Amino acid sequence: MSDEIGGSRRNSMELVGAKAGTAMPVEMRQALNLRGLVPCSVENFSKQELRAYEQLMAKSTNLEKYEFLAILRSTHINLFFRLVIRHFKEIAPIIYTPTVGEACLSYSHIYPFLYPFRTSIGMFITLDDVHSIDVVIENYCLSMIEMVHPEIAVVTDGSRILGLGDLGVNGMGIPIGKLQLYVAAAGLNPRRTLPITLDFGTNSKRYLNDPLYLGTREERPDDETFEDFSTDHAFGLLDQWRDKALCFNDDIQGTGCVILGGFISAVEQAGIPPHDQRILFMGAGAAGVGVAKQIMDYFMIEHNIPEDKAKAMFWFVDSHGMITANRGDKLAQHKVYFARHDNGNMQCKDLEEALEYVKPTALIGLSTVYKAFNEKILTRMNEINAKARPIVFPLSNPATKEECSFEEAMRCTNNRVLFASGTAFPEYTIPETGELRVPGQGNNMYVFPAVGLGAVLCKPARITDTMFYAVSKALANSLDEEEKSLGELYPRIERIRQISAELAAALIVQAVREGLVKDQHWLDIVKNSMPEVMDEGGKADGCFSRRVVGEVKTLMWSPPDSVEQYIVEAMTAIDPDDV
Ligand code: NAI
């Protein structure tokens, strides 16, 4: 070891150099006595990216791609994020849904090969740990090479994963994947993200009997034993905590927000006035009723339609037929609000009958009934809406439950459909013209990274429904002219970083308008660049100024472009006095 290099500086250099890999400069190689021990080429980051992409493409299954990327994330974090950002459309479905679901199913079998043992990928908290949580937090801090504190955490208890059921500790893949999207899509700093899994057991026999299962091998505690974390109460937990801690539920609120954004775009493009919309829901579970209430808020807030009139724009069909007050059965509490009172003696036994009775402009599926929107239904939707474009949203997940595909909706509506789905569908080429059409997917990854970014930046006291509403509006506003001219309802996913910046800006502006931001920096920027909106109080319209979105963009993390920049940043992070 050279005399000039002290032990700690050498350790720091080794850590930094290891992550620079083949881009390590000659001087650093010499200082670390690496001459002759590594290939001589000194590469730039673009070349490393090219090689990584080539390796990724050479994998034959998506799970192998997932594994390759997970290892890359552990060993070359900047290279990993450069790859994800540059190839977001291609890689997001691997690090997030659907492939992350596949990885979670076998997580206990692959985990040790994804992360070298002791690599700190997040927190696994068992019931025993809860009582000594300070120790876990301290251990986590000690494990971090760079002395930074997390600014965003994603927490799961692994009990309801992507329609795959109770995965127990194997659910850790989800917060990891989500946080990678927070970084890649919205520029959160990866070193300040923290995945957390509450490993309180699993009720899945498959895992309890799996000899390789890595989590707590016990059934989950019942509600009484552990009320705060009971698994069936996501809505209740949200209500309990949303005003006390800076938190949100990316599935419940993020999904509602993204569907509303797509629906606003659809109403704007449909070609009939909003108050003439007639919306028929198939499925009246928590999802159907929740989505309907959000859309109803839009009609009330945006178009000043009074509540009773807005409510009357919605009809529901469940497994017993159209939901009416005089159907003859006792309606579940959450269905009562939308039950029709204006049907006289008319009852419809199923979707087909309801379609003829309601003559809807929009058909929304949250029913879990595969192919419920069959050729007959879709063709009738097209006929009923001869003068306006029919809106069809088959939102059920996963693909085995979807109400119809994009291709089916296009074919049956003479390519006029305004479409958004729960699962991803391939693009569709119109056979007669050869034109390509892109389906809308109501994927919550359009919004949750942006909401996280906006909240981390301006630190509002809480995240309100009106902030989510502003984000939905900003999402609808974010479509460019080309996307609109092609009837698309969501912006192209390739533009996700720009979209995230705009949505985060909309959230920040709304938070300031609602008086929930204390940070003087953001107060000044919003008030100085948008004095007129401050007079409008809490009105949510999803607007922001160029100054706000510009400031958001400057604060978004991205991987360093050059090795010189990387080394300075990395050495500063490890030891600010020793660069
Ligand atoms: P749920 O099981 O509580 O509700 C299903 C509803 O469909 C019930 O009202 C049921 O009566 C109705 N239904 C079942 N068979 C029917 C039939 N033959 N005719 C008419 N109605 C019928 O389920 P939940 O939680 O409301 O979710 C529904 C679906 O929505 C799931 O597939 C879920 O994955 C999906 N979902 C999708 C989201 C997205 O972002 N795309 C967001 C939330 C949920």
- State pLDDT tens for residues 10-63: 777 777 877 788 999 999 899 889 989 999 999 999 999 999 999 999 999 999
Candidate from 2-16, 21-35, 196-210 with smallest mean pLDDT: 2-16
Å from CA of 354 to ligand 1 middle? 17
Distances, alpha carbon 70 to alpha carbons 113, 184, 552, in Å: 9, 14, 28
Dist. CA 422–CA 444, nearest whole Å = 10
Over residues 282-309, mean pLDDT: 92
Going by CA atoms, what residue is nearest to atom 44 of ligand 1?
Answer: 287
Dist. CA 339–CA 361, nearest whole Å = 19
Going by CA atoms, what residue is nearest to atom 12 of ligand 1?
Answer: 283
User: What's the mean pLDDT when you consider all of the chain?
Assistant: 91
- Count Cα neighbours of 189 within 13 Å in the Cβ-side half-sphere: 13
Chain centroid offset of residue 65 CA: 21
Chain centroid offset of residue 314 CA: 27
Over residues 556-572, mean pLDDT: 88
pLDDT at 538: 62
Closest listed residue to residue 145, CA positions, set 124, 119, 116: 119
The one-letter code for the residue type at 390 is P
Q: State yes or no: pLDDT of 163 exceeds 80.
A: no
Q: State yes or no: pLDDT of 182 exceeds 80.
A: yes
Going by CA atoms, what residue is nearest to atom 36 of ligand 1?
Answer: 396
Point out the residues that are catalytic.
Answer: 96, 178
Which residues are CB-neighbours of 142 under 8 A, at least 6 positions away? none
Dist. CA 338–CA 325, nearest whole Å = 9
Q: Which atom of ligand 1 is nearest to the CA of 321?
A: 20
Task: Please report which confidence band the pLDDT of residue 225 belongs to, taking 50, 70 and 90 as the band edges.
Answer: low
> What is the reported pTM?
0.91
Mutation pick for ligand 1 pocket among 315, 397, 401, 423 (CB with most ligand atoms within 8 Å): 397
Give per-residue pLDDT as tens, 484-519.
999 999 999 999 999 999 999 999 999 999 999 999
Closest listed residue to residue 469, CA positions, set 281, 300, 270: 300
Q: State yes or no: pLDDT of 116 exceeds 90.
A: no
Over residues 180-205, mean pLDDT: 95
pLDDT at 232: 57
Mutation pick for ligand 1 pocket among 232, 282, 336, 368 (CB with most ligand atoms within 8 Å): 368
Q: Which atom of ligand 1 is nearest to the CA of 259?
A: 40
CB 437 within 8 A of CB 486: yes
Å from CA of 403 to ligand 1 middle? 10
Q: Which residue has the higher pLDDT, 160 or 490?
A: 490
Q: State yes or no: pLDDT of 2 exceeds 50.
A: no
Q: Highest-confidence range of 229-238, 354-363, 389-398, by mean pLDDT?
A: 354-363
Mutation pick for ligand 1 pocket among 253, 366, 370, 373 (CB with most ligand atoms within 8 Å): 366
Report the phi/psi class of residue 480: left, alpha or beta, with left for phi > 0 and alpha for psi in -120 to 50: beta
Joined together, the tokens standing for residue 479 give 């479509």
Share of the chain above pLDDT 70, in %: 94
Å from CA of 10 to ligand 1 middle? 58
Q: Which atom of ligand 1 is nearest to the CA of 368?
A: 32
Output b/e per residue, 149-171; b: 16+ Cβ within 10 A: ebbbbbbbbbbbbbebebbbbbb
Task: Please report which confidence band the pLDDT of residue 231 belongs to, taking 50, 70 and 90 as the band edges.
Answer: very low
Å from CA of 285 to ligand 1 middle? 5
Å from CA of 114 to ligand 1 middle? 35
Going by CA atoms, what residue is nearest to atom 16 of ligand 1?
Answer: 319
**Alpha helices (runs of H) in 350-423, residue ranges in sequence order:** 351-358, 375-384, 406-412
Dist. CA 409–CA 417, nearest whole Å = 7
Q: State yes or no: pLDDT of 224 exceeds 70.
A: no
pLDDT at 241: 86
Going by CA atoms, what residue is nearest to atom 43 of ligand 1?
Answer: 287
Å from CA of 366 to ligand 1 middle? 4
Joined together, the tokens standing for residue 559 give 């991987």
Q: State yes or no: pLDDT of 230 exceeds 50.
A: no
Instruction: State how beta strands 362-365 and 279-282 pair.
Output: parallel
Q: Which atom of ligand 1 is nearest to the CA of 290?
A: 26
H or E segment at 81?
A: helix 77-86
pLDDT at 537: 63
Task: Please report which confidence band the pLDDT of residue 328 belongs to, taking 50, 70 and 90 as the band edges.
Answer: very high
Ligand 1 first shell, C-beta below 6 A: 163, 255, 259, 282-288, 317-319, 366-369, 395-397, 401, 422, 442
DSSP-derived 3-state class of residue 278: coil
For the CA atoms of 156, 162, 166, 169, the dihedral, rounded to the nearest 10 degrees, stands at: -40
Å from CA of 262 to ligand 1 middle? 19
Burial class of residue 563 in the structure, from the number of CB atoms within 10 Å of its CB (0-12 exposed, 13-18 middle, 19+ buried): buried
Q: Highest-confidence range of 106-115, 129-138, 307-316, 329-338, by mean pLDDT?
A: 307-316
CB 316 within 8 A of CB 335: yes
Task: Please report which confidence band the pLDDT of residue 532 belongs to, taking 50, 70 and 90 as the band edges.
Answer: confident
Report the phi/psi class of residue 81: left, alpha or beta, with left for phi > 0 and alpha for psi in -120 to 50: alpha
- Residues facing residue 392 across a β-bridge: 363, 419
Candidate from 69-83, 123-137, 261-275, 561-575 with smallest mean pLDDT: 561-575
Q: Can you tell me which residue has the tokens 């308008």? A: 513
Going by CA atoms, what residue is nearest to atom 39 of ligand 1?
Answer: 422
Could you give the angle at which helices 520-529 and 546-554 cross, rounded to 10 degrees? 150
Mutation pick for ligand 1 pocket among 319, 331, 406, 489 (CB with most ligand atoms within 8 Å): 319
Q: What are phi and psi of 368, to 5 degrees?
A: 65, 15
Dist. CA 570–CA 78, nearest whole Å = 11
Give per-residue pLDDT as tens, 427-458.
999 999 999 999 999 989 999 999 999 999 99
